[in-house]
Amino acid sequence: MTGHPKYSRLEYRTPGADANIYLVLAAVLAGGLAGLEGKIDPPAPFEQMAWCLPPGTARIPDSISKAAAALEADELLAGVLGQDLVDYWLGTRRWEWLQFHTTGGDPDADLTTWESNRYFELP
């Protein structure tokens, strides 16, 4: 909370370093645009530590499968970004999940050889 509206800013820190910054920016702007066009009231300010959310607080998806399911169910974002982009992203993430689970990824490992080769482009 600020003392004057001119000192306000939008702050969004969820994306990781591996996120496609263009898609992150498009999603954040799409959310703002959808809120303005739909006259959606923002929730009350959250003034606690984000690491210790109270019970019952909605959390962001904690797996790629849950994130894909949430995106697939979200008509608002698809309406702003376009269904073609959403369908493409869903297809690539589901392919990635399938590759991980069928070519040697270990969901219980800290960092697998598969992940190192895929994300760090090692020879």
Structural domain of 61 = 5-120
Spatial separation of the C-alpha atoms in residues 86 and 32, rounded to whole Å: 18
Asked if residues 81 and 30 have their Cβ atoms less than 8 Å apart, the reply is: yes
Q: How many domains does the chain have?
A: 1
Helix (H, G, I), strand (E, B) or coil at 31: helix
pLDDT tens track, the chain, 123 positions = 556 666 666 665 667 777 788 888 888 888 888 888 889 888 777 777 766 777 777 788 888 889 899 999 988 888 888 999 999 989 998 988 888 888 776 767 777 777 777 777 655
pTM of the model: 0.66
Spatial separation of the C-alpha atoms in residues 70 and 28, rounded to whole Å: 16
Spatial separation of the C-alpha atoms in residues 95 and 36, rounded to whole Å: 34
Which phi and psi angles does 45 have, rounded to 5°? -60, 145
